[in-house]
Amino acid sequence: MDFHHSTSLTVYLLSILGYCAGQDALPSGPVNGTLGGNVIFKTTINPTTLFAISWTFGEPPVSVVDFVSSAGSVIGVGYVGRISLDNSTGSLELRKLTLIDSGTYRVSLRTADVIQVGSTSLIVYETISNVTLRANVIDLMELNDTVIFSCSVSSGSSPFSYRWLNGSSEVTARYGIQLGDGGRTLTIANVTRYDQGPYRCIVSNPVSSKPSQNLTLIISYGPENTTMKVTPLDVLYGSGSNLTLSCSAESSPSAQFQWLLNGTLLSNNGPELRLENIQANQSGSYSCWAHNTRTLRYQISEPSDITVLEPISGANITTTPNSSIIEGGSVNLTCDASGAIITREWMKDGHPLSAGGNIIISEDKRVLSINPVKRTDSGEYRCRVSNPISTANAKHGLIVNYGPDGMEIMGPSEIEVGQKITLTCSADSIPTSSYTWVLNGTEIPGHSPEFTKEKSEYSDSGDYTCTATNNVTGNKTSVVHKLSVKTEGSLSQGLSAGAIAGIVIGVLLVLGVAVGVAVYFMKIKGFFKKESSRSVGNTGKSSANGGGPGGNQPALCPPYLRRLLLQITGMMALSSVWRMSCASCLLKKYLRLIQGPELCRHHTIPEEGWWVSSAGEPGYFLHRVRSGPSQQPAWSACRTTHLQIPPFLGEKACP
């Protein structure tokens, strides 16, 4: 027996009999190798001096290589040029692997003291190539269809493992997804749009891994979430504006779009609708209709209301009736304008007008009714019409015709012959009334409201009837005035008893008020003083009687009289005025009758007079009155009598 066979047999027998100090000189296997590739069987010992190494393969064992430190290595048949041996560790490299290299490999390592043995398995695999992914269908409808993927390998050694990917995400079995045939098939039931891929499978064996090509599904779905966008977006649009309506939807394949106005299909197609120079008749509810020709499904967007307003113009107010408005009747004011009117407001003379009383406003505020019409309803009426894009105003002057009423004739009831007659007739009337005069049943020519005659005659006495006529209202009213023409000078002899009584009552009332006020203020300011009576003027003493034609009247004035200013318009007999008790002395002393530069009456009056102002400061008479002419002029020449009465400090007497 030669060396090679004896060594191999010895190692084999020792490994069987356990004649060694240690086992597991090789790690547990198997060792995987690639067809045509290399493997290294590494031992578990550290480098050392080995006296003998023996590697065998299979059953019965076939020598791979034998090594004896004193003789060298012997390589077995079939392994020449395919192996390399590490003499310090006993590791073996096997190259150019073939499928028949698969099997059990044993090693025996002998040192100076022990022999270590070990065994392991080698499996040679063919690498995977040509991985193919197929699907039973790739064009599917969402939620309706099911797809089955299959993954195949044209070459490679089993066992194979399969891994599925959707994009970069791994696909695992779950509800609606199944893996079959050892993972070679993938089934997805009721596909959704998220299942479209791309898909690929990765096939692996212990020595290789290979992915398939990508496969993408075509999944039809929608339309869904159909929405419409209006640009520019606003609540209201003026006529002539330009708008763009855009429609979008989630759909595969892309949806086709049509447009609806108030639920009626328009002729426009496509995802965009342009409305240029839009007019009011294009207002309405717009929506878009999305349709999928593959799924045969459709969806309509939520509508968008587009309101187009015309700017307001041509605002005007018309009245009904359009003839003259007469008090007590009724009138309607109607406010209209071109364009879209949203609001109306009524005003009168610049102030807001609301319904109430004789004012009625229609619900849409288009018509303002006045019933019955009053004269106070005259004025400027304004209607303000507006919409969010424009405003217009209209105004109308309303004239209420009324009257005549409130008639009166102004003028004297007595006049001396030869004097001028002036009678004025007045009436409240719109428009102004025309007037006619009738004297004692005979019409006087003319239509003036004033009747004048330069020189009166006795025949001018009688009843003067003034008739006012309103040509619009058709009303007429009359009033009568009595005039008596007296003989010349008959009206200059003094005042009548009634006139005198009236003057006396008036003067006493004024005196009472003045006295009360004077006492109040003099008490406050301490003006009451006990003084002896002092004479006024040059008399040197008080007089008990007033001078003048109306004498025998007490002339001592009360000490509390401060100031009294009386103005009496008209002609007055001095003798009548002097009969007014205390005032008589004051009137006698300070009466000034003015007729141009002359005095109407002769009096003896002190040159100087004095008074105290309302502020309590000394003052002076503005006029010095001296003795007038000896001849008394006619009373008719006197027009105004001014009575200036000074205040008194303490008791003062009238001369």
Domains and CATH numbers, the chain: 3-125 (2.60.40.10), 129-216 (2.60.40.10), 219-309 (2.60.40.10), 316-398 (2.60.40.10), 421-486 (2.60.40.10), 497-645 (no CATH)
Distance CA 200, CA 211 (A): 7
pLDDT classification of 584: cutoffs 50, 70, 90: very low
More confident residue, 591 or 265: 265
Alpha carbon distance, N-terminus to C-terminus of the chain: 198
Collapse the DSSP code of 10 into the 3-class scheme (helix H, G, I; strand E, B; otherwise coil) and give the result.
Answer: helix
Collapse the DSSP code of 268 into the 3-class scheme (helix H, G, I; strand E, B; otherwise coil) and give the result.
Answer: strand
pLDDT digits (tens, 9 = 90+) for 72-120: 999 999 999 999 999 999 999 999 999 999 999 999 999 988 999 999 9
Please provide the DSSP assignment of 494-531 as one string.
---HHHHHHHHHHHHHHHHHHHHHHHHHHHHHT-----
Res 345: pLDDT: 97
- Contact present, 245 and 217 (Cβ < 8 Å): no
Q: Which residue has the tokens 């597991």?
A: 24
pLDDT digits (tens, 9 = 90+) for 29-64: 899 999 999 999 999 999 999 999 999 999 999 999
Token couple for 92: 């073996």
pLDDT digits (tens, 9 = 90+) for 186-202: 999 999 999 999 999 99
Q: Residue 439: which of 483, 405, 502 has the closest Cα?
A: 483
| Helices (H) then strands (E): counts for the chain | 4, 48
- Contact present, 518 and 645 (Cβ < 8 Å): no
- Helix (H) or strand (E) run with residue 452 in it: strand 450-453
The shares of helix, strand and coil residues in the chain, as percent rounded to the nearest 5, are: 10, 45, 45
Distance CA 605, CA 591 (A): 9
Token couple for 513: 């008020």
- Contact present, 418 and 456 (Cβ < 8 Å): yes
Res 100: pLDDT: 96
Phi/psi at 495 (5° precision): -80, 155
- Contact present, 26 and 120 (Cβ < 8 Å): yes
The DSSP letter of residue 24 is -
Res 519: pLDDT: 55
Centre a 10 Å sphere on the Cβ of residue 227 and count the other Cβ atoms it contains. Answer: 14
Phi/psi at 394 (5° precision): -135, 145
For residues 423-433, average pLDDT: 96
Distance CA 186, CA 391 (A): 72
